[in-house]
Structure 1
Amino acid sequence: MSPSLRLARWIAFLLPLSLILGALASQYLGGLYPCELCHWQRWPHYAAIVLAGLAFVIPGRSQRTGLVTLAMLAILISGMIGVYHAGVEYHWWPNLAPCASTMTGAGTIEDILAMPVISCDQPQWTFAGISLAGFNALLSLGGALTILALLFKRKPL
């Protein structure tokens, strides 16, 4: 396996894994409840983790390259959703998604009333004016472009 494909595979696996672990930590340890668009950004990362993980166990260069390419596309999709979400937060365009938190499992009326209502157009946390959606957009799009460049990298003559 070429060094560039090996690096692309690791990035395609570790980038979405890191972003998901960061999102889950901010949710369960930091108390930042995800909105609907936050969840939308997570699903492609879950898919990318599985696809890139399979690229470690499936034999054959073309199969591994295909799985890494699919993982890169999933990361790219999450980044594009992140751009959309950040634009909603910065009020660059209107939000077309339903944005309130969702409840998992059965709950009482008290549980439902105690749930925070999370709006997609109000970032819960920012650093240097960039929200979590903005960071996801930057990291995912940058990672997807890096993986793409590595996949198209030719061996020196």
Structure 2
Amino acid sequence: MAQAPRPVMMVSGVVFVLALATILTALGFEHLGGYAPCQLCLQERYAYYFAVPAALLALILARMGLAGAARVLLVLIALAFMANAALGVYHAGAEWKWWPGPDTCGGGFDLKWGKDGIVDTPVIRCDEATWWFLGLSFAAWNAVVSAVLAALAAFGAARAR
């Protein structure tokens, strides 16, 4: 039984690194690349905001020999990413016009002032992809990454038994 925490530690570390890299990439595209997120994009970040500290805590707990508590966190992370993958599929489907997006499809934006008053600011729509890579949008890539992270977390929770 001394080896039981090892899979939990490894999976927790991998989930932590991948989730952190993904959310930092999204924030980098937003702040450095000028891609403003829509409302669905912002909601899709919640799983990462939960999973990054939860995976780090799971790693710490596993290292302390508390693999059971770490496994519970991995189950919660898996559930969060399963829900996030479903949200990503919904968002990507709305972008591909397979179904309508939410009625509140115009994302939030900051009012900007120019010399003549308020400057027109772009409305960020949930049903229009602003970026594509290998045929997939941000939302579709989020669905893929979330599904992988959900599978990894579930594997880590189950493997430790």
Q: TM-score range by the shorter chain?
A: 0.7 to 0.9
> In the superposition, relative to structure 1, how do residues 97 and 68 fare at CA in structure 2: closer, same or farther (>3 Å)?
farther
Deviation, 1:109, is: 6.6
Question: 137, 141, 146: which one pairs with 2:143?
Answer: 137
Residue 4 of structure 1 is matched in structure 2 by 7
Secondary structure, in 3 states, of the residue corresponding to 1:93?
coil
2:82 corresponds to 1:79:
no
Residue 56 of structure 1 is matched in structure 2 by 59
Gaps of 5+ in 2: none
Question: 8, 29, 34: which one pairs with 1:31?
Answer: 34
Identity rate of aligned residues, in percent?
Answer: 33
Residue 25 of structure 2 is matched in structure 1 by 22
CA contact (8 A) 1:79 1:140 kept: yes
TM-score, with structure 2 as normaliser: 0.83
Gaps of 5+ in 1: none
TM-score, with structure 1 as normaliser: 0.85
CA contact (8 A) 1:37 1:97 kept: no
CA distance in 1, matches of 2:120, 2:60: 45
What residue identity is the alignment partner of 2:130? Q
Deviation, 1:127, is: 1.4
CA distance in 2, matches of 1:114, 1:33: 15
Q: CA RMSD in A?
A: 2.2
